[in-house]
Every structure is written in structure tokens, then in C-alpha cells.
Structure 1
Amino acid sequence: MPSSQPLVLTELADSTRAAAEAFIAAGTAANTVRSYQSALTYWSAWLRLRYRRSLGDGALPPEVAVQFIVDHLARPDTSGNWTHLLPPAVDAALVEAKIKGKPGPLSFSTVSHRLAVLAKWHRLRNWDNPSEAPAVKTLLREARKAQARQGVSVRKKTAVVLEPLQAMLATCTDGVRGTRDRALLLLAWSGGGRRRSEIVGLQIGDLRRLDADTWLYALGTTKTDSSGVRREKPLQGPAAQALNAWLAVAPACEGPLFRRLYKGGRVAASGLSGDQVARIVKRRAAMAGLDGDWAAHSLRSGFVTEAGRQGVPLGEVMAMTEHRSVSTVMGYFQAGSLLDSQASQLLSSTPLDAVPPGERTAAAPHTAQEC
């Protein structure tokens, strides 16, 4: 039975601090640590309410992971409605404690992420991993199929391909802010589809100028490369010129490359946050009148999509983006490649009104009645 005792946030923070410290000691990126800590805080709260136990009491059995899935993933019932098994009292307690944003089921990606964090938490302690149990893996796979059959799909951010990028850049005419935003958008996009954590992490000392139209910027530790080895990426043409303009209005010998602005266009010494990068992308898209679900990741996905569209070899794209997984990058790359493929433009190459009616019938032997 669910516990009736209220959740105490300070106690939950204490119960997950050790987990966060373990991830930090393992060399995990700071942004990832924050997402892990959020997931473990949720696990701690849910376990206390559902089972009256603490996260660190020992390895969790597969049955607990199964219960977590059916508690949080919605599934269609016999009446055509969607249901999940999380008791309303537990749901309300999680929301009241600000562990959960709103009542109701969680998305498949959120549940999958929290199971992955639980798996890593167990591996760090050399405990049996409940997420690897056949029953858990099968249930998760079938749950995804069930949601897909009901039209529930994973929503991706809108990719900034060339045309929306140009529209966003056209709005960057508002003084110092426009100069900064133009340089940021072009470096993030042309420089290999940089993540927002990489953008805000760039320092003045990471830049090396080759000529008036070419810069190199160095990446250190990133989400997919924690070796600490500096890898230089090129920045050329309009992107290099935009960077020149930003450095001219905001000269500095050290510190963050992209900094905050005060009213009146005065440049602060402090750098941007990842959330501010996302807001810049959304603001410029809104100013350009662009429809879509825009975010900082739109620049990364847009770079890959546009590269596929222009026929850039996949290996060169991955050298710029530093994707480690081909499967991760291929979805965007293939979508871009198909945009200009002849296979997607068969009708445009032979207009229907140019084909004699008799030939149209011969070329289409199946009639509507047969279908």
C-alpha cells in the first residue's frame, strides 16, 4: 500500500547525493549528472511511496522495474481510453513534492531514461541490474509497440536546415544582441552542429585565427569525448565573418566566448547558460515567423539534415559533429538526403498532365475498385 507520509525534499536530496557523487567520480559530464540526479530523486520518491524503502537499501528486483513501467506508461484499455497503474494518491504526492511536473503518465523516453539511470546506478555498485531482466526488456519493447500502434510517436525538435537558418539570421539586425546571436547561430550550425553545452563552454582561448575568413575553435571534454584532448574544428566564410564582428564589439582576452548582455547592449563578463542558448534559437525563430518546435538541438539536427541534403559524406559529417553512433545520426542524415533524391520527385520529373490518358491507365493496372 502507498505510504501516507508526505515526502520531505531535504531527505530525498540526502538519499540521492551519494549517487550524484558516484557519477561525478566516474567522470560523467555535468549536464548528464544533473539529469541522473533528477532521475534518481524520482526513483527515491517513488520507491518510498510505493514500497516504503530507500534507494540505497540494496539491488532492486526486476518486479520493481516492471511495476515502474506499468505505473508510468499509458496503454489503451478495452474501452479505448488510456490508463496507467500509478495510484492517484502516489501521483498527487509526487506532484505536491515537486518531484513530478503534473499528474498522469510519463513519456516513453522519460521512462526509458530513468530505467537506464537505474541500470547504471546498479552497475556502479556491482548489483544485479533489474533493467536487464528478460521480463523488463520484453515489457518495455511491447509497450513501445503498443504506443506506436496507437499513434504515439517520439517528438523531435524541428531541424534548422538552410532556409530557416537564413530566415533567423535575417532577424539579427538589432545591434550588439543581433551581432552576438548571428555569431552564435552560425558557429553552432556551420561549426558542426554544436550542442548547447559545447556552445556555452567555448572560451576566448579556444579560438585560433588562420586568416580573415578562417578560424579554428577547440573542443575539450564533451558529452561523447571525455578524454580532455583538444580537437580543433574549422569555421569559415560567413560564420568566420560573424565571429569577427562579435569579437569586434565584445573584445576580450579571456573568459566565455558568448556572454550575456545588459540593457543597452552592454556586454557582461559572465557567459550564457544552456537555457539561454535555447531561448535565443526560439526567439529568432519567432521573429522570423517560423512554425515549428524549435530548441538548441534544432541547430545540431539541422546541420546533419542539411549535410545529407547537400550530399556531404557521412564520415565527414560525423567528424564535425563527433557523433559516436551511426544509428543516432543516420535518421537526420537520411531525411536530408531524401529531400533532393530523384526517388522523392518522380512526379515532378514527369507531370501527369503531360502523359496521355491512355498511357496513364496502362502504367497503373490496379484500379480503385481493386484496391
Structure 2
Amino acid sequence: MEQERQSENTEKSSSDPPNGPSVNDDSERDRPDGEALRLPSSMAGSGTLDRLVDTARDYARAAASDNTLKAYATDWTHFARWCRMKGAEPLPPSPELIGLYLADLASGSGPSPSQSASRPLSVSTIDRRLSGLAWNVAQRGFTLDRKNRHIATVLAGIKRKHARPPVQKEAILAEDILAMVATLPYDLRGLRDRAILLLGYAGGLRRSEIVSLDVHKDDTPDSGGWIEILEDGAVLTLNAKTGWREVEIGRGSSEQTCPVHALEQWLHFAKVDFGPVFTGVTRDGKRAQQTRLNDKHIARLIKACALKAGLRPDLPDAERVKLYSGHSLRAGLASSAEVDERYVQKQLGHASAEMTRRYQRRRDRFRVNLTKAAGL
């Protein structure tokens, strides 16, 4: 049996073209997310080794979040389609070709003469798409050198010509979050959404971190953390972008605005004692479901409550909606918490104080006056 497997592996390896692995869409080399992992052709397969290959593939898929993998898949689909329309092969990666692709994205020229021009992409989107291409190329067994002059100089020119200041989402400040939660009813759905807003604000949480919480450790395979409710507050253990971290959320000055009390109310009346903390609610609003809430619900909830609370009444509704997102909660905490900056940095899980300052919309910018310090 082992000899037969060896001969099969030899036949498969000999079918590859002489200049490198096949780039056919059906080949294992062309599959991302760990699918390309396989035994070397010189090794005989066995039940144990085959199971290890499957295990290794599972770990490879877990190297990035689902949202990141979806974005990378979209990046590769777009690039592969662009290559086909230009009569080029996406693999092996050609720095010259990728430089042309980046220029096409920045200029907004159409995919082909017969099609209308597409919208030029922002510099940040182009930079992120290049990262997605580099990841996809690596998953397929190749390397992409972003420092190659055909890529680096084109990208530098794009940034020099088209770069704009970053557009930041509006921060939801303390008075704003109070007005928003006041718009929510006290039914089951309202209790859940109130807990989401207050917990997300007080913890400076990302929307993915909110919905990934479980009641206990190891409740579900897709858990991103768990909660522990104590007398003085709650401790959230999160598997975030920067690794595992703990977020302490103290009790508020009143039950109406306390995030821990809101969380307790939701868990009690929804009868959630295992699995995901935040789940869907039946249409009649009388029973909590077992399905984990999607993180898109957080963004929709923030936008809807901001409108109902009348935030930024000087703008039309269409523009007001665009001002707010899940990051508005994190920016609100960073801008409202009047404590030492290092505590805010720890709560948000930032690796540097500079990143935290990007979230502070109304911090005292001239607390350190270098002009006077220089004698002027």
C-alpha cells in the first residue's frame, strides 16, 4: 500500500510543469487558508500523517480572523480577474505586473476598453489590498517583495499624489451614549442592546470583541473570550488583535448607566448561562436564541440609536449615519475618560500611545507648549 502511495505521489509531482508548480485554479498550490498544505512527494502517507495534515490546515486557517480571510479572498479574486482581462498570469507574481495593477487602482481606469471607468481607490485601500495580495501569494508558495522598486516606487508615487488626511468616525461621548441608551425600550431586545452599547463604550471594545464573548471559558469553539462578573465590576478576557488581554469594567455611578448591571440584566432575563453572551432574539421579542449575534448588528445599532438620540442635528440624516460606526465607541472612551493616558491605552489594547492619541478627538493638544518652552 505504501509503495502504491509513493508511486502516486511521484506521478503527481512529475505532472508539474518544469518551471514551477501549476497555477491552475484546481491545484492545491492555488488554494489559500492552509488548503495547500500537504505531505512532500517523497513521503509516504499514513493515517496518522494525513490527520496531522488536516490539523495543520485547521491551524493555518485560524491564523487570521474570518473577516480578514474574506477580505483577502476578495482581494485575490479581483487581482486574478484583472490579470485574466489583461491576458496575464497572476502566478508567479511579477513585480512589474503588480505595479501596473496598483497604478490601475489609483487611476480608476476601467478593467477593459469596453467597460466604464471604475472609481479610484483611496491610498489606504490600495495599501491594504497590496497586503492582501502578499498574503495570498505566500499562501500559494511564492514570495512578494513589497520593497521591489517596481512596487515600492509606484506605491510611493500614489501616496505622494493622492494621499489625504484620514477620515475619522465621530466619537460618541458620555452625554451621547446616555442619550442613545435612553432611546431603547426595556424589552428583551432593548436589554441586550443597552448592554452592548454600555459594555462596548466602557470597555473600549471592538464590535468583533463584543459579539465573540462567551459566558464561560471554552463554552464554544469560536469563542473570542469570556466574562467574569465580580462584586466591583466585570473582567473580560479577550483574544484580540494584539493577543490575549484582560479588560476591567467597573460598576457605574447608577444602575441606569452601569454597563455591568446592564449585562447582568440581559443575562438574567434572557436566561443566558452558557455559550455566546449576545445572541439573537425571536421575532416576538420574548426569547433569546442560541445563535451568536453578528458584529454588523453593532454598527447598525450605533447608527440607529445615534439618529434616534438626535446626535449632530445640524446635518441631514444621510450624513449623520455616515459619521458613526463601531469605532465610535472606542473613540468615545478615549476622548471622554479623564485619566492618565496609559490607562486608556491599556483599556483599548494599543501597543503604543501614539495609536491611542488617534482615538482622542478632544484631548488637550496644547498641554505641552513647546513654543513657550523654546523661549517665544
TM-score (norm 2): 0.70
Structure 2 residue aligned with 1:337, among 352, 355, 363?
363
Separation in structure 2 between the aligned mates of residue 33 and residue 13 of structure 1, nearest angstrom: 19
Aligned residues: 299
Q: Distance in 2 between matches of 1:66 and 1:321?
A: 36
Q: State yes or no: 1:132 paired with 2:165.
A: no
Shift of 1:14: 8.4
What's the offset of the Cα at 1:12? Answer: 7.2
SS in 2 for 1:337: coil
Contact 1:177-1:265 within 8 A present in 2 as well: yes
User: Of 326, 330, 333, which aligns to 1:303?
Assistant: 333
Matched with 1:261 is: 281
Separation in 2 of the partners of 1:124 and 1:160? 40
Moved more, 129-138 or 162-171: 129-138
Residue 25 (structure 1) aligned to one of 52, 55, 60: 60
Deviation at 1:250, TM superposition (A): 1.0
- Relative to structure 1, the CA distance from residue 88 to residue 117 in structure 2 (aligned partners, 3 Å threshold; closer, same or farther) is same
Q: Which residue of 1 aligns with 2:272?
A: 252
1: distance between equivalents of 2:340 and 2:205?
Answer: 18
Q: Residues 314-356 of structure 1, C-alpha deviation per residue, up to 9 Å, x if partnerless?
A: 32222211123444332223x331379698xxxxxxxxxxxxx
Cα 1:68/1:327, change in 2 over 3 Å: farther
Correspondence 1:161 to 2:186: no
Matching residue of 1:279 = 300
2:215 to 179, 204, 212: 204
Percent identity over the alignment is 28
Is 1:69–1:111's contact at 8 Å kept on the other side of the alignment?
A: yes
Distance 1:133 1:110 in 2: 20
Deviations 1:149-194 (A, max 9, x none): xxx5432222212222122122123522221111101111101x11
Name 1:182's counterpart in structure 2. Answer: 194
- The 3 A distance-change label for structure 1 pair 282 and 130 is same
Which SS does the other structure have where 1:336 is aligned?
coil
Letter in 2 for 1:181: D
**Is 1:45 paired with 2:65?**
no
Amino acid at match of 2:236: Y
Q: 4+ runs of 1 displaced by more than 6 Å?
A: 11-17
- Which whole-Å CA distance do the structure 2 matches of 1:185 and 1:160 have between them? 10
**Greater shift after overlay, 292-301 or 229-238?**
229-238
RMSD across aligned C-alpha pairs, in angstroms?
A: 3.0
> Quick one: which amino acid aligns to residue 300 of structure 1?
R
Equivalent AA in structure 2 for residue 222 of structure 1? A
Counterpart contact for 2:85–2:112, Cα < 8 Å:
no
CA distance in 2, matches of 1:106, 1:181: 35
- Alignment gaps of 5+ in structure 1: 1-10, 75-83, 93-101, 344-371
Query: Conserved in 1, the CA contact under 8 Å of 2:33 and 2:139?
Result: no
Instruction: Find out whether 1:69 has 2:102 as its counterpart.
Output: yes
What SS does the corresponding residue of 2:364 show, helix, strand or coil? helix
Tell me, in whole angstroms, the C-alpha distance in 2 between the residues paired with 1:91 and 1:288. 44
Look up the SS of the partner of 2:272 in the other structure.
coil
Q: CA separation in 1, counterparts of 2:350 and 2:325?
A: 19
Which one has a larger percent helix, Structure 1 or Structure 2? 1
How far off is 1:88 after superposition?
4.3
Does structure 1 conserve the Cα–Cα contact (< 8 Å) formed by 2:302 and 2:326?
yes
CA distance in 2: counterparts of 1:40 and 1:273, whole angstroms: 25
Q: Tell me how far apart the structure 2 counterparts of residues 260 and 44 of structure 1 sit (CA, whole Å).
A: 37
Query: AA paired with 1:25?
Result: A
Amino acid at match of 2:273: C
Contact 1:12 1:41 in 2 (8 A): no
Amino acid at match of 1:68: Y
Kept in 1, the 8 Å contact 2:334–2:344? The answer is yes
- The structural deviation recorded for 1:67 is 0.7
> 1:120 offset after TM fit, Å?
2.8
- Asked if 1 retains the 8 angstrom alpha-carbon contact of 2:122 and 2:162, the reply is no
Contact 2:237–2:245 at 8 Å: present in 1 too? yes
The CA distance in 1 between the partners of 2:27 and 2:179, in whole Å, is 48
Q: Deviations over 1:96-151 (max 9, x none)?
A: xxxxxx93222222211111122233445664424222342233233223224xxx
* Aligned partner of 1:112 among 127, 130, 135: 127
Distance (whole Å) between structure 1 residues aligned to residue 241 and residue 29 of structure 2: 22
- The reply to whether residue 317 of structure 1 matches residue 329 of structure 2 is no
TM-score under structure 1 normalisation? 0.71
User: Residue 145 of structure 1 corresponds to which residue in structure 2?
Assistant: 160
Q: What is the identity, as a one-letter code, of the residue corresponding to 1:252? A: V
Kindly indicate whether the alpha-carbon contact (under 8 Å) linking 1:187 and 1:235 is maintained by their aligned counterparts in 2: no
- Indicate if the aligned counterparts of 1:196 and 1:277 stay in contact, CA closer than 8 A: yes
How far did 1:202 drift? 0.4
Counterpart of 1:283, as a letter, is: A
Q: What do the CA deviations read for 1:282-319 (whole angstroms, capped 9, x no partner)?
A: 11111112243211121122222223xx2x22322222
User: 2 CA distance for matches of 1:15 and 1:42?
Assistant: 20
